[in-house]
Every structure is written in structure tokens, then in C-alpha cells.
Structure 1
Amino acid sequence: MSTNRSAIHRLALITTAGAGALALLTACGGGNDSMAGHTGMTSGAPSATASQQPAASFNDVDVTFAQTMIPHHEQAVEMAKLAKTHAGDTEVKELAAKIKSAQEPEITTLTGWLSAWKASPPEGGHGGHVMPGMMTETDMVKLQAAKGTKFDRMFSEFMIGHHEGAIMMAKTEQEQGANPEAKKLAKTIETAQQAEIAQMQKLLDRL
């Protein structure tokens, strides 16, 4: 009888240990499956967020910023292109090339945001908005007709006013916009164009 009780006791211990091991294995297996699923979602989250970034959060100020800065930049690029054949001063030519290379990619970025926001692109060149610093058609004709030092001075004077207008627009975006990327670009525009204004003012002093 004592032997039978010992055998039964050992059998109970083995059964209990086996059940515990099975439970542990099941728990580990479930944990791994859960972690695998979590890992998959985590790795996919950044790409989803990145793809939605331009349209994430924006307001009417962001839309207006893009709609007005596109034609504003386009006119600056048009002015800068003239310097290649009309400017007489090497520094003016180099500055114009710098302005062109900086603002063309920004036009592409702003256009992409309008598309992501499902907002209409600028209409009739200005999108119906009045933009500070824009040259008139008469001013543009005068600039196109100028050569050498006359062009250099005229380009610098017109571009200073143009940049000052862009800085006003950029400050409004930073103060009232909602989209973080748009506000970041506005700050970049303000910083870069403020430095270029200082450079052109020095140019005018020596021309």
C-alpha cells in the first residue's frame, strides 16, 4: 500500500510538472506571436506616417502660403535667369544662380503639398492673391532691357523688394500656419532671403 501511494504521488508530480511546462510553452509561444505582430506594426508605422505627413495637419494659411509662394518664387527664378546673360558683375551672376537653385526645388515642394492637401494650384499666375514684393510687368520689361551695371543695380534693387515680400509671407506662415513642414520651409525662406538681402545691399554700395 505504501509503495502504491508513492507511485501515485510521483505520477501526480510528473503530471503537474508536465502541465506547467505546457502552460509555459504556450505562454511563450503566444508572447512571441504577439511580439511578432507588434514588431510588424511598428516597422510599418513610420512609412505610413511619412506618406501622410504633407496632408497631416494644415489650415487655410498653409494653403495660401503655398498658393502665393509658388508664383512669387517663379518670378524670382525668371529674374535670376536673366542675370546669366544680362548681368555684368560676377557676384550678381553667382547670387542669381544661387537663388534659382534654391527656389526651383521649393516650388516643387509647395506644388506637392497643394496636391496632397487637395487644394487648387495658383490660377492665373497669382491664384487671385495680392503678393507683397512682386514686380509689375513694366518693371520686368525694364529689367529685361537692362545690361551690365545698370542691370546689376536694377536686379539687386528689385530682388531686395521681392525678398522682403517673401519674408513677410513666410512670417505669416510661421505665426498662423498649422503644418509643421510648411512652417519649417517658411523659416528656411526667411533666413536665406534675409542673408541675400544683406548681400545685395552690400552689392549696391560698391556698384
Structure 2
Amino acid sequence: MIRKRSLMHRTAVVAAAGTTALVLAACAGSGDDGSAGHGGHAATASSSAPSSPSASASASAAQGQHNAADVAFAKGMIPHHRQAVEMADLAPGRARSAEVKKLAADIKKAQDPEIRTLSGWLTSWGEDVPAEGAMDHSAHGMGGMMTAEEMTGLENASGTAFDTAFTELMIKHHEGAVEMARTEQADGAHGPAKKMAGEIIDSQSAEIEQMNALLGKG
């Protein structure tokens, strides 16, 4: 009888111990899962939350960064280029010099695409693109722009007289463009506009030298 009672007691103790172990294991497992899940979620949130908004903000700033100097450059250079192209269009039927005809063709080839690019920037910035004819020869004080009288004189010239007038006026015109481009490089914020300004300085400075040589001033 005593032996039977002792066996029952040991069985009860073992069962109780097993139940306790199961409960402890379950609690520990639950605690681990909970903390891992929360920790994982918190880590994900903490790693993604600060970077996502700032990354998109910096990307947005890089794409749209421009300032008033960029707008002024685009709005000024469009009519300036248009007038240069208008002058160049006169050369095929009036110029005598093959060099002047080629120079005029090169000017038109370079500046037509730049007008389109400058117009695209203004549109993307929500700015108005100067209308055709907005060059308004009364704006001749800006960057070497020609007066209406100068343009009329060029239209009425031909042969050697046209070559000389075209070259002299285009030198002044190019000098104005170079000055505008230098202002953009100094004050602008839009990378592509500053790059174009550098290209204008290089190409038009070289053409000024070429034109001075044609006039015997080189």
C-alpha cells in the first residue's frame, strides 16, 4: 500500500513538472516571437521611414532645381537666338563670301536646337515662352540685339557690303550672348542651363575670333 502510494506521488510530481516546463516554454516562445516581431517591424520602419521621404525630396529637388537667373537666361536667350537665326537666314541670298554663308549656316544649325531646349525648360518650370516676334527690335539694348534700322539695313545690303555688315553686327550680337551666358554661369542654379551657357561661351567666342579674322582684325 505504501509502495503504491509512493508511485502515485512520483507520477503526480513528474506530471506537474512536465506541465510547468510546457507552460514556461510556451511563455518563453511567445515572448520571443512577440519581441522579434515587434523588433523586426520597428527595424523595418526605422530603416525605411527616414530615408524614403528624404530620398524622394532630394530627387525632386535635383530634377526641378532652378532659380530666377535661369528663367531670365532662358527668356532672354530665346529672342536673342531667334534674331541671330533671322540674320543668318538673310545670308544665302545676299552674302558674297563663302565663309560668311557657312558661318551663317553654322549659327542657325547651333541655335535652332537651343531655342527648342530653352523653350522646353520654361514650359517645365511653368513659365511663359516668349512669343514669336517677341524679340521686338526695341529690345536692342539687351545683349547686342539689333535695332529695327540695323536689321533693315542688313536686309537691303548685298555682296561685300552685306558680308561686312553681317559680320560686324554678328560680332556685337555674339558678344552680348557671351555676356548673358557668363551671368547664367555665375548666378544660375539649373545644371543643364549652366552647361549650355558654357557651350555658348566657347562656340560664340570662337566665332567672334573667326569673324574678326574675316574683317582683317584677327
SS in 2 for 1:13: helix
- How many residues are paired up? 201
- The one-letter code of the counterpart of 1:92 is V
- Report the aligned-residue RMSD: 3.7
Q: Measure the CA separation in 1 of the matches of 2:138 and 2:157.
A: 30
1:27-66 Cα offsets, whole Å, 9 max, x none, are: 4356557767788757855764465x1xx4423x444433
Higher mean alpha-carbon deviation, 96-105 vs 21-30, is at 21-30
Q: Measure the CA separation in 1 of the matches of 2:138 and 2:195.
A: 25
Q: CA deviation at 1:162?
A: 0.9
Q: Percent identity?
A: 39
Q: CA deviation at 1:76?
A: 0.4
Choose the corresponding residue for 2:215, options 182, 200, 204.
204
Q: Measure the CA separation in 1 of the matches of 2:66 and 2:76.
A: 19
Match of 1:136 in 2: 147
Q: Measure the CA separation in 1 of the matches of 2:23 and 2:98.
A: 97
Match of 1:171 in 2: 182
- The one-letter code of the counterpart of 1:85 is G
Q: Once superposed, which parts of structure 1, at least 4 consecutive aligned residues long, lie more than 6 Å away? A: 33-40
TM-score by length of 1: 0.71
Match of 1:5 in 2: 17
Higher mean alpha-carbon deviation, 3-12 vs 186-195, is at 3-12
Q: CA deviation at 1:74?
A: 1.3
1:85-136 Cα offsets, whole Å, 9 max, x none, are: 3334444333222211222233234344445254684785349753132222
Q: CA deviation at 1:78?
A: 0.3
Q: CA deviation at 1:156?
A: 1.9
Indicate conservation of the 8 Å contact 1:114/1:121, yes or no: no
Q: CA deviation at 1:11?
A: 3.9
- The one-letter code of the counterpart of 1:96 is A
Pair 1:21-2:33 in alignment: yes
Q: Measure the CA separation in 1 of the matches of 2:98 and 2:20.
A: 101
CA separation of 1:48 and 1:160: change in aligned 2, threshold 3 A: same
Indicate conservation of the 8 Å contact 2:88/2:108, yes or no: yes
Match of 1:67 in 2: 75
Q: Measure the CA separation in 2 of the matches of 1:124 and 1:99.
A: 20
SS in 2 for 1:171: helix
CA separation of 1:120 and 1:90: change in aligned 2, threshold 3 A: closer
Choose the corresponding residue for 1:154, options 154, 162, 165.
165
Indicate conservation of the 8 Å contact 1:68/1:127, yes or no: no
Could you list the runs of 5+ residues in structure 1 that have no partner in the other structure?
none
Which structure has the bigger radius of gyration?
Answer: 2
- The one-letter code of the counterpart of 2:189 is N
- The one-letter code of the counterpart of 1:174 is Q
Structure with the bigger RCO (C-alpha within 8 Å, sep 6+) is: 1
